[in-house]
A and B are shown apart, each in its own frame.
Chain A
């Protein structure tokens, strides 16, 4: 089946991609198919508007091992577009499929549209400093980060075809063991409404108590820059915000002793209000802030804590 194909090992993400897929369907006048590893979820894709669902079944449960099978199927079906959920596993698989198909692949697109005889995308480059608009010739692959789109709504007749495809995906060169869920310490800052974020302006770990007091007064979770978690290990890795860390979208973000390098700022762009406290008036964070105080955080934080407690 030519047309628009969707794949994610995560079914919720696949339903989000359906939202983008259905827009392309309208523009390209071609059907939408979902490729899934999860037979139980097949009907949910049909309900959300997919014309066809292919349930791919192999003996190897490792999602990445399906790359060859997916590439073979897409070649046979002459797929025009493959949208892949931009999880880490999804990006791994997408690149392998693209290599097999000798196709172009855009990573982490924020927008996909049909343009002429290709697909047009936008994405961030240079650590979030710039936005690049690109075209990809067909067959075109695009990965889209989770939560870029809302899940497609249940609609229409719920009529569509479900096909089961048996594939060979054994690979005796690779064995996967010890799959351990990562247990978060504390709340998920990606979902926090308010965040007090601390950077290397903090001189020692003990001073985190002062930051915690402010966070408590504001009702916020504590986040940090990469150096605080990866270099100093003062806070767990899932607390650092930025292009390679967590992307956050709080109502209020208060940054303390954070210079505001692009890789950090890329993670806070969706914050509603950004407040910065930094002793260096020229720190780039002030360019990215709604409100700022130029000052020593050791002086400002206790005053701010007191004022916010009231």
Chain B
């Protein structure tokens, strides 16, 4: 094994997004973060890199804001980050994203393994890993909860709802990992300082040799609306809990639930 690559996405932190009265989303106070699922992919890549003494690079595609991600990404143990900051990311669907990532991988590669999160924390389309594998002509092993490499072969345990299966691959492959595969490290001051000295390289979409059709999304958003539930919101908050419980039980009795 020579070289590993991790793909990550720089996303708005959904915890900071507010649904407003007219059901539109207020992202004004939302900060960006590395998509949680991708933190697991970064960790899986860095652990493999440490075990086998090989270099681990990362690739990210986003809007201009993606440049802010470099420090956090590099402090997680990566050796280098390739980043693509392009306005195309605003409208990109999984088709466009995979075309751009595959183009950049062909340029920077080859890689023995390409790791992705299972989905992204924002749109959670779960398409990037299998699409990339198809575009690169190599196998995809998705939904991986355990990963090891020995004698040039990768063994992965996948978790598929009702069963697990063990998959062994020879040669390069794209892997998507489940959150349960590891606990991503929390970078310390030393790692953050070291990150400042690590290399990053900007990649331009224009240099990837993609046709216009490959950059035109097939899926277009018509509207995004906050999801609200219509609930009764009857809250009992007296100091005396026995009273609260009595009121709750009376309400449940009215609902026919006790």
Contacts and interface: CB of A to CB of B under 8 A. Distances in A.
B252 to A, nearest CB: 7
A93 B169 CA distance: 18
B68 interface: no
Contact of A291 (B125, B166, B252): B252
A286 interface: yes
B229 interface: yes
Given A176-B165, A179-B164, A300 B245 contact: yes
Contact of B244 (A100, A124, A251, A300): A300
A178 interface: yes
A127 B121 contact: yes
B121 A104 contact: no
Contact of A98 (B131, B140, B233, B244): B131
A274 interface: yes
Contact of A96 (B15, B123, B131, B227): B131
A173 B231 contact: no
The 8 closest A-B pairs by CB, nearest first: A104-B218, A99-B134, A95-B130, A294-B237, A95-B127, A99-B131, A178-B166, A290-B232
A125 B123 contact: yes
A310 B25 CA distance: 45
Nearest to B239: A295
Interface in B127-179: 127-135, 138-143, 159-171, 173, 179
A133 B125 contact: no
Nearest to B178: A244
Interface stretch (B71-79, B81-89, B92-100, B187-195): B92-100
Given A107-B124, A129-B17, A289-B232, 13 more contacts: A88-B160, A92-B130, A120-B222, A126-B17, A173-B169, A173-B171, A176-B167, A180-B164, A182-B159, A292-B234, A296-B241, A304-B245, A308-B258
B241 A303 contact: yes
Contacts of A140: 218
Contacts of B138: 173
Interface string A210-247: 00000000100000000000100000010000011000
Nearest to B255: A273
A175 B162 contact: no
A291 B236 contact: yes
A105 B224 contact: no
Given A87-B160, A134-B220, A304-B249, A96 B134 contact: yes
A262 B12 CA distance: 14
Contacts of A307: 245-246, 249
B245 A293 contact: yes
Interface of B: 12, 14-15, 17, 19, 25, 93-95, 98, 119, 121-135, 138-143, 159-171, 173, 179-180, 213-214, 217-227, 229, 231-237, 241-242, 244-246, 248-249, 251-252, 255, 257-258
A175 B166 CA distance: 8
A74 interface: no
B140 A104 contact: no
A133 B179 CA distance: 27
A128 interface: yes
A214 B170 CA distance: 52
B168 A175 contact: yes
A131 B248 contact: no
Contact of A88 (B135, B139, B161, B258): B161
A193 to B, nearest CB: 10
Contacts of B225: 130-133
A286 B224 contact: no
Contact of B127 (A107, A120, A252, A292): A107
Interface string A263-298: 001000100011100000100001111111111100
A207 interface: no
12 contacts: A95-B94, A99-B98, A102-B214, A104-B94, A127-B14, A127-B121, A134-B222, A136-B220, A180-B163, A182-B159, A294-B235, A307-B245
B164 A182 contact: yes
A117 interface: no
A96 B135 CA distance: 9
A307 B17 CA distance: 39
Contacts of B173: 173
A92 B176 CA distance: 10
Given A173-B170, A175-B168, A237 B248 contact: no
A292 B121 CA distance: 29
A133 B222 contact: yes
Given A129-B14, A132-B223, A288-B229, A89 B160 contact: yes
